[in-house]
Amino acid sequence: MNIDLNNGLLAEARFVPSPNYDDRPEEEGINLVVIHGISLPPGEFGGNWIDDFFSNQLDPDAHEYFREIGDIQVSSHLLIRRDGEIVQYVPFNKRAWHAGQSSFDGHERCNDFSIGIELEGTDDIPYEYVQYEKLAQVITELKQAYPDISNERIVGHSDIAPGRKTDPGPAFDWQHLFQQMV
């Protein structure tokens, strides 16, 4: 895998640009990876719904749930689909809107200094082996590109927004991820 530090893109990813990002504060360095879980509609996999959601193109009439979330403007840097495909929505050097109200190690606003990676999945359905494999490869590359990222700074959305978020959930196997990164 290869990250182009000039444009912030992962060469192996399909790029679907999201309008939901802005510049990071100049004083902030990238030093945290936040793992998320997403499925649209909830519990369903496949299709273009996640791409549409992060690019503000979600059709609110396509599913009842989409009426609830259709106006939300969010993004993530990457999505790893269940088949291992990697999709990038926001360059790593920009601030994606993935963490919301959040805190890590006493530092608020995790979007300022983190990279958000979505896994297509739910809290209670096991993630696919290929997703762990691709995630481990991506994180290894991110750690090389951004040396302030350490294993201790790879967290779940639930870790930075406890009580508000539960993803990637109990189905996510942290031990397996870290074994893949050895």
Mean pLDDT, residues 17-32: 95
Question: What is the per-residue pLDDT across 108-124, written as a single tens digit (0 to 9) for each?
Answer: 999 999 999 999 999 99
Question: What is the per-residue pLDDT across 46-65, written as a single tens digit (0 to 9) for each?
Answer: 999 999 999 999 999 999 99
Q: Which of 142, 37, 17, 30 is nearest to 95 (CA)?
A: 30
Rounded CA separation 78/143 (Å): 15
pTM for this predicted structure: 0.97
- Count how many domains the chain has: 1
Q: What residues make up the domain containing 48?
A: 3-19+26-180
Q: Which of 165, 166, 169, 139 is nearest to 154 (CA)?
A: 139
Residues acting as catalytic residues: 118
Question: Residue 83 to residues 69, 109, 133: CA-CA distances in angstroms?
Answer: 25, 31, 11
CATH of the domain at 148: 3.40.80.10
pLDDT for residue 93 is more than 80? yes
If you search the block for the tokens 């999505």, which residue do you land on? 79
